[in-house]
């Protein structure tokens, strides 16, 4: 039998091991599985071993004679045809570049399995030789293992190199979703090539495994979102609607495109705030960036849109008593612009009072250059868009930004004095953007003791805290030893 793992089912359990069947279940569930082939031991080989069972132990050392007479049973035309289309063969944690070397390894794997079982079983006719899985990576990569220990509530990654935070997050998400698919915890062997992660082996998690705190990545986490590992850095979840109670975050940002009608705004706001009364919800005015007018200026020039969103917010907070709702203003281009939109909002009934907090979005270098004037304008917190700041600061387009992602020195040099100043005045800060998934960025922000980060998805909100916890721990050790 020569088939891919995704074609295996429970009906194949007599000839294929449970681990391979579980791999097939993940493949059919559209999980990223490394290109593979499942091959069973040829019946002719098993028949030879059965007939010579009493002599096989002596013959096992006669490598040349065995290979010359038996290798062709493995390298069939069908098998050789499949192998000829691949460049690299990966079997039992070894890489092979030649078909004959792979066939030799398969032969001895099956032979040893047969011998070990034949010695333990009373009837040689009942001996079953396990199927083998051969993987075909497209290029060189690294092999890691990862699992969630339900007893210690720890997420563990064993890797020969230090992985960047975005790959640790992706690994955590993959393991979490795969465990949900297979119901019970597993130990996963993963292959990383070209920044993509593939599953290539699944084994049941049976007991707590030894880990090295120095070389392995070990991060406490909780399966229940409401019991999320607490970090000094707050986690906010951003989205355009939340119809259920959300656990495991410190707050939420409800975003709008600007095209919603009044009923849509009211429905989104009510569903989100009423089902999450335990969380602060930031009602974010739309940051419309098409054309010459954007951010706060766009709403200043569109008073009807500003009035529509303001009325919806006041109705939800005051009439529906959703006092966990707060308010954010899109990016202003100047302090004068911020004061003008605040004046217009005040005329509509929205201003800093009682428990209502007003946040302002920062996405332009000018916002920082005039930081003290903005602070004098009296807002409760800042939401800083790192992606926008990075693009405008270095002076290139979004497309060009992809090329320069690694050049963060200018960004750090620019932000450093402003973040220190904001920390001294105890201003609430939330950092958002895809750059948060970069290890250097997270290290810098946590070293600066940035109070909060914004994520765009629930899986990320579930995974990121364990990475932040580890960075915070290392940052604290560094400060204490300085």
3-class SS letters over 200-216: EEEEECCCCCCCCCCCC
Q: Is residue 61 over pLDDT 50?
A: no
pLDDT value, residue 60: 44
pLDDT value, residue 63: 42
Q: Is residue 228 over pLDDT 70?
A: no
CA angle 394, 400, 405 (to 5 degrees): 65
Domain that holds residue 128: 2-135
Last residue of a domain, one of 173, 189, 220: 220
Which residues touch 315 (CB under 8 Å, ≥6 apart)?
Answer: 266
Average pLDDT over residues 56-83: 67
Q: Is residue 413 over pLDDT 60?
A: yes
Q: Residues 237, 371: one domain?
A: yes
The backbone torsions φ and ψ at residue 236, rounded to the nearest 5 degrees and listed phi first, read: -110, 140
Q: Is residue 224 over pLDDT 60?
A: no
Lowest mean pLDDT among 92-101, 189-198, 242-251, 381-390: 242-251
Q: Is residue 284 over pLDDT 60?
A: yes
Model confidence band, residue 397 (pLDDT cutoffs 50, 70, 90): low
Helices vs. strands in the chain: H and E counts, helices first:
18, 18
Cross-strand partners of 202? 188
Per the CB < 8 A criterion, the answer to whether 228 and 467 are in contact is no
Q: Residues 97, 150: one domain?
A: no
Tens-place pLDDT, residues 90-116:
998 888 888 888 988 898 888 888 877
Q: Is residue 230 over pLDDT 60?
A: yes
Q: Is residue 121 over pLDDT 80?
A: no
Residue owning tokens 């010459």: 292
Q: Residues 467, 332: one domain?
A: yes
Q: Residues 58, 164: one domain?
A: no
pLDDT value, residue 271: 92
Last residue of a domain, one of 187, 202, 220: 220
Q: Residues 197, 68: one domain?
A: no
442, 447, 451, 457 alpha-carbon torsion, rounded to 10°: 10
User: Residue 32: how many CA atoms within 13 Å on its side-chain side?
Assistant: 15
Q: Residues 249, 383: one domain?
A: yes
Instruction: Please state the separation of Cα 356 from the chain's center in Å.
Output: 34
Domain at 190, CATH number: 3.30.470
The backbone torsions φ and ψ at residue 129, rounded to the nearest 5 degrees and listed phi first, read: -95, 130
pLDDT value, residue 167: 84
Model confidence band, residue 225 (pLDDT cutoffs 50, 70, 90): very low
Q: Residues 260, 208: one domain?
A: no
pLDDT value, residue 58: 46
- pTM value surpassing 0.85: no
Q: Residues 398, 378: one domain?
A: yes
Q: Residues 214, 246: one domain?
A: no
User: How many domains does the structure of the chain reveal?
Assistant: 3
Q: Residues 267, 413: one domain?
A: yes
Q: Residues 426, 463: one domain?
A: yes
Angstrom distance (rounded) from CA 106 to CA 394? 55
* Averaged pLDDT score across all residues of the chain: 84
Which has more confidence, 113 or 226? 113
Lowest mean pLDDT among 7-21, 299-313, 315-329, 368-382: 7-21
DSSP letter string, 304-321? HHHHHHHHHHHIIIIIS-
Q: Residues 398, 288: one domain?
A: yes
pLDDT value, residue 406: 53
438, 440, 441, 445 alpha-carbon torsion, rounded to 10°: 140
Tens-place pLDDT, residues 426-475:
899 999 988 888 778 888 998 888 789 999 887 778 778 877 887 887 77
Three-state secondary structure string covering 34-61: CCEEEECCCHHHHHHHHHCCCCHHHHCC
Domain at 273, CATH number: 3.20.20.60
Last residue of a domain, one of 135, 152, 179: 135
Lowest mean pLDDT among 37-51, 63-77, 334-348, 459-473: 63-77
Q: Is residue 405 over pLDDT 60?
A: no
β-strand 452-455 against 234-239: which pairing, if any?
Answer: parallel
Helix spans in 349-438 (H): 365-369, 371-376, 386-394, 398-401, 409-424
Angstrom distance (rounded) from CA 185 to CA 159? 19
């Amino acid at each position: 039998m020569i088939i891919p793992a995704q074609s295996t089912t429970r009906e194949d359990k007599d000839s294929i091991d449970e681990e391979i069947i579980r791999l097939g279940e993940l493949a059919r569930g559209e999980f990223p599985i490394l290109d593979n082939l499942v091959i069973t031991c040829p019946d002719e080989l098993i028949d030879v071993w059965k007939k010579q069972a009493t002599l096989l132990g002596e013959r096992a050392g006669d490598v040349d004679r065995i290979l010359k007479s038996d290798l062709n049973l493995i390298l069939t035309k069908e098998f050789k045809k499949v192998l000829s289309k691949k460049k690299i063969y990966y079997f039992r944690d070894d890489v092979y570049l030649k078909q004959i070397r792979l066939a030799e390894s398969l032969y001895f794997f099956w032979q040893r399995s047969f011998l070990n079982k034949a010695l333990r079983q009373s009837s040689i006719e009942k001996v079953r030789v396990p199927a083998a899985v051969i993987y075909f990576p497209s290029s060189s990569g690294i092999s890691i293992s990862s699992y969630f220990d339900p007893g210690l509530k720890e997420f563990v990654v064993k890797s020969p190199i230090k992985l960047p935070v975005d790959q640790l997050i992706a690994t955590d998400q993959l393991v979490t979703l795969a465990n949900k698919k297979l119901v019970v915890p597993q130990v996963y062997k993963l292959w990383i090539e070209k920044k993509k992660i593939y599953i290539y082996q699944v084994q049941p998690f049976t007991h707590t495994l030894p880990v090295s705190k120095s070389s392995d990545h070990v991060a406490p986490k909780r399966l229940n979102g409401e019991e999320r590992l607490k970090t000094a850095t707050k986690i906010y979840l951003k989205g355009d609607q939340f119809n259920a109670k959300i656990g495991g975050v410190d707050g939420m940002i409800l975003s709008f495109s600007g095209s919603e009608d009044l009923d849509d705004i009211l429905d989104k706001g009510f569903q989100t705030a009423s089902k999450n009364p335990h969380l602060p919800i930031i009602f974010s005015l739309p940051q419309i960036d098409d054309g010459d007018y954007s951010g706060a200026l766009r709403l200043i020039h569109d008073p009807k849109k500003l009035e529509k969103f303001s009325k919806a917010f006041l109705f939800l907070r005051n009439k529906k008593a959703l006092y966990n709702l707060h308010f954010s203003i899109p990016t202003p281009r100047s302090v004068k612009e911020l004061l003008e939109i605040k004046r217009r909002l005040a005329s509509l009934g929205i201003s800093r009072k009682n428990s209502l907090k007003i946040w302002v979005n920062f996405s332009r270098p000018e916002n920082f250059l005039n930081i003290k004037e903005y602070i004098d304008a009296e807002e409760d917190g800042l939401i800083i868009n790192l992606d926008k700041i990075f693009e405008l600061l270095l002076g290139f387009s979004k497309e060009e930004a992809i090329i320069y992602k690694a050049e963060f020195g200018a960004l750090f040099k620019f932000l450093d004095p402003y973040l220190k100043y904001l920390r001294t005045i105890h201003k609430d800060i939330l950092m958002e953007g895809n750059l948060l998934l970069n290890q250097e960025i997270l290290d810098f922000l946590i070293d600066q003791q940035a109070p909060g980060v914004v994520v765009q998805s629930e899986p990320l909100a579930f995974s990121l805290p364990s990475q932040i916890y580890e960075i915070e721990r290392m940052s604290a050790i560094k400060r204490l030893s300085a």
